[in-house]
Structure 1
């Protein structure tokens, strides 16, 4: 995409900040907006242009990327007289990279089409590290020609970029991703706890098991954090709970029982009730070690 095009970026949290920085350092003019300006100060010091309102950002951008917290936040930034879709120019591309609901992605697409705006849903996986290192997995829903037009942008942010299908397909794919992670996190925590209880060095155990059939991203990246007592959020528990809630609701719609997902959510609900919602998902270890 032409580097003279302006990219607007809304949401400079744990993930969004690194994603926005990668776009900025790639040479694009970047306009940014966030509910709190403090979290955008670093990007502003690096050359990003702060906008006081979504209205101003939308009116001046050729591409608008959103990376916010919850579906209600997505609704807030896209809809209404002060939202993106009421203020973006025709032929603007809007890309929601928040993990949200497939039905909301479809609503955004439909309204955008009425206004001659191109919409894609493109949730990501890879956590804070993947965002920083520009190697996110990006799961896209929308029209083929819009995907091709935005692929150069996606390639700045990630490595594994797949158009999954029609609008909402990116969000459905992300639900599959989160379902896989949910049960896996229980297994990773229990494996580390078992190693400790058996009198083993869990770091040495990881060296043996992470390259075999038990290997997973969570085992390689989050188990070492559990062992060292590092529960800093690469991905917040409160956001994971939101994702699991969406996945359970979508599974119900399609008539699918997901007992593993249901168990994982119940454990994370208990963890959040203990005040752990702002910790990383690896903090499940703290709950399960108490059970032992």
Structure 2
């Protein structure tokens, strides 16, 4: 039986730039929403609209039929699922109801996704890895791409929830396949956003109107989100995060590690990771990924 607002309590852990919009779409569809995040003030709008606050992931998991996580790093994922302090019963997995589905939408390690799925199955529950792409814009507009790994029956059951958050949703394979697909996505972005920043630095130095350049080339073969959306932010000198540089470095690190494990030498990914690490060290850690332009163009604006 698929989920429905009448029968399904949904928990959401992690209410950052993307998570709060994603949880809001679920709440707006009428699902009873349960929330937990490290900074409770981020949950205030959802609580005001009727969401139930829980003091820790364990309490939330015990109350819900579906638990969604959208946290920062693989270490955070491990902590919320297996317990942050080593106490038995302190994480999501130890408190999942039989038949419940846990969905990790964090970009994390494929091997961790496999461990979570195996541990959930031992409790008679299911776990899906379902990282997303689309940045803050896609989260706000419910137009995310959602890449899912795990059990087909669990995927079919919770797909109505995915459809509330995204427009491109697919089951790519068993546990870990969603995370592997996200690594493909991030490898594409690593080269693309770096190239966009270099291209717009070129436009500036050549004395071109960079906005007009975007108007022209954005409709051609170079067009895409990185150019048309983030490129426009670069032109406007808007470096606020839709996706933080430090999280992107984390993603590139996972992708590079997986590539090395599979015997691949991804030189563009390696170069982009090196450039972003340098930018972070120079103060760009909390910028959006388009902020790499500031280093490439030596632009402090």
Quote the residue 1:2 is aligned against: 4
Give structure 1 regions of 4+ aligned residues with deviation exceeding 2 angstroms: none
Q: 2:244 aligns with which of 217, 236, 244?
A: 236
Quote the residue 2:77 is aligned against: 74
Of residues 35-44 and 12-21 in structure 1, the stretch that sits farther from structure 2 once superposed is 35-44
Quote the residue 1:217 is aligned against: 225
SS in 2 for 1:226: helix
Distance of 1:172 and 1:53 partners within structure 2 = 29
How far apart are 1:186 and its partner, in Å? 1.3
Distance of 2:211 and 2:4 partners within structure 1 = 47
Q: 1:64 aligns with which of 43, 64, 67?
A: 67
Distance of 1:286 and 1:31 partners within structure 2 = 40
| TM-score (ref. length: structure 2) | 0.95
| TM-score (ref. length: structure 1) | 0.98
Superposed CA offset, 1:69-123 (max 9, x none): 0000000000032100001111110000000000000000001101101110000
Alignment of 1:104 onto 2:107: no
Distance of 1:279 and 1:191 partners within structure 2 = 19
Q: How does 1:248-287 map to 2 (within 5 A)?
A: 248-287=256-295
SS in 1 for 2:11: strand
Distance of 1:120 and 1:127 partners within structure 2 = 20
Quote the residue 1:95 is aligned against: 103
Q: Any gaps of 5 or more consecutive residues in structure 2?
A: 84-88
Superposed CA offset, 1:141-170 (max 9, x none): 001111111111100000000110010000
SS in 1 for 2:106: coil
Q: 1:168 aligns with which of 176, 185, 195?
A: 176
Q: CA RMSD in A?
A: 0.9
Q: Any gaps of 5 or more consecutive residues in structure 1?
A: none
How far apart are 1:228 and its partner, in Å? 1.1
Superposed CA offset, 1:186-236 (max 9, x none): 110111111111111000000110111111210010011111111110000
Of residues 193-202 and 162-171 in structure 1, the stretch that sits farther from structure 2 once superposed is 193-202
SS in 2 for 1:278: coil
Quote the residue 1:30 is aligned against: 33
